[in-house]
């Protein structure tokens, strides 16, 4: 039989672009530090060489000093701008994108000009090719950004000898830059789309894991709660036994209430079980409203019987809570004609609270609370009794 497959959810790529921006920024700042170090090394070398030559330096060396000074200042300004904006202003997405783009763009276009300044038979446009490799393999820009920037740098490489006659392309070398420019474009596209694919798969896995977690949480909650009242069930009560016995042993007060709806069989017989369930839900909600501020350990113990466990409350406090719950149910005004005309549905409550050095177990507390409930129902119901 054919089963329709559940379509994959559309992934929001806003986080993907933010993630790439932060990656580009971190890598760009590190690249800037490396560029600053290289520029300083070259400048110090040029200064030492100039000093040894009594500052009789060539025109080419002057251009190189200016170029490395420009690189140094530009990269320092990028790092300084990031630090100042981060400290005193708000780093918006647009600012982050600009700051993450500038180091790579500056190094790429700087490599174009340094190629012409440092042209020699041994150079073979190596600087520009390194710039292309850096731009194509380190950052993760959108395809349009990568292609446009690399194309503009290549256009600059072509136009510089035309505009500035003092710069000449080494032996009309267009082949190597063309090959490296194409490689840089292909590399940047491959890395970007590979990252996009990984992000898409990762997000889908995260969504599936989230759905599984939610489903497991619902199943786990369903396994320990009563479907009608949303109280915990008796199965979960067993897991509370160890904690209760530990508290009793360490003289931390433990209180147990056993609550039963009076004459509820008469209510069901007069109406029906559907109305009985509705009344049961209303009564359980009312009891929970009273008790919830003090404990969430409320259990459906039987058909119309509930059990409540308190920690670190005195008997006087628990007696008051029990009386408030009893009165709240009575005030609902749910009629029980099966008992007698005009009679309200009521509850009876039996309770017990540990004393100092109490040697009872949690199971014995439940038995004692149940005994107290039996006794209060024997003397008239709609009341509470503690033993």
Q: Which residues are identified as catalytic?
A: 304
Between β-strands 305-311 and 347-353, what pairing exists: parallel, antiparallel or unpaired?
A: unpaired
Non-local (6+) Cβ contacts of 372 within 8 A are 258, 350, 351, 352, 385, 386, 387
User: CA–CA separation, 27 vs 373, rounded Å?
Assistant: 71
Per DSSP (E only), the strands in the chain are 254-261, 298-300, 305-311, 347-353, 384-386
- DSSP-derived 3-state class of residue 347: strand
User: CA–CA separation, 145 vs 142, rounded Å?
Assistant: 5
**Phi-psi region at 312: left, alpha or beta (left = phi > 0; alpha = psi -120 to 50):** left
Non-local (6+) Cβ contacts of 198 within 8 A are none
Per the DSSP assignment, residues forming a β-bridge with 299 are 232, 307
Non-local (6+) Cβ contacts of 2 within 8 A are none
């Amino acid at each position: 039989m054919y089963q329709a497959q559940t379509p994959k959810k559309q992934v929001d790529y806003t986080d993907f672009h933010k993630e790439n921006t932060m990656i580009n920024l971190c890598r760009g700042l590190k690249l800037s530090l490396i560029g600053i170090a290289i520029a300083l090394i070259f400048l110090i070398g040029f200064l030492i060489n100039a000093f040894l030559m009594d500052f009789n330096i060539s025109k080419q060396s002057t251009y190189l000093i200016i170029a490395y000074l420009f690189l140094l200042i530009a990269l320092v300004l990028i790092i300084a701008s990031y630090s100042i904006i981060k400290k005193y202003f708000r780093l918006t997405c647009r600012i982050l994108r600009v700051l993450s783009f500038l180091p790579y763009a500056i190094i790429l276009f700087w490599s174009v000009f340094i190629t012409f300044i440092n042209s020699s038979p041994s150079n073979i446009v190596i600087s520009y090719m390194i710039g292309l490799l850096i731009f194509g393999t380190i950052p993760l820009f959108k395809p349009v950004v990568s292609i446009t920037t690399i194309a503009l740098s290549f256009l600059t490489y072509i136009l510089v000898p035309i505009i500035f006659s003092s710069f000449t392309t080494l032996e009309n070398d267009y082949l190597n830059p063309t090959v490296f420019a194409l490689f840089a474009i292909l590399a940047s596209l491959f890395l970007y789309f590979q990252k996009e694919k990984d992000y898409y798969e990762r997000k889908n896995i995260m969504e599936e894991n989230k759905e599984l977690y939610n489903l497991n949480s619902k199943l786990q909650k369903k396994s320990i709660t009563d479907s009608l009242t949303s109280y915990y069930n008796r199965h979960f009560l067993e897991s509370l036994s160890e904690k209760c016995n530990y508290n009793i042993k360490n003289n931390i007060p433990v209180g147990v209430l056993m609550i039963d709806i009076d004459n509820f069989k008469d209510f069901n017989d007069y109406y029906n079980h559907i109305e009985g369930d509705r009344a049961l839900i209303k009564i359980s909600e009312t009891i929970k409203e009273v008790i919830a501020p003090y404990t969430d350990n409320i259990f459906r113990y039987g058909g119309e019987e509930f059990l409540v466990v308190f920690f670190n409350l005195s008997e006087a406090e628990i007696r008051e809570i029990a009386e408030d719950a009893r009165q709240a149910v009575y005030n609902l005004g749910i009629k029980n004609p099966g008992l007698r005309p005009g009679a309200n549905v009521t509850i009876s409550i039996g309770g017990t609270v540990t004393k100092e050095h109490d040697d009872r177990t949690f199971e014995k507390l439940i038995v004692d609370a149940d005994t107290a409930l039996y006794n209060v129902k024997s003397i008239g119901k709609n009341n509470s009794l503690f033993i």
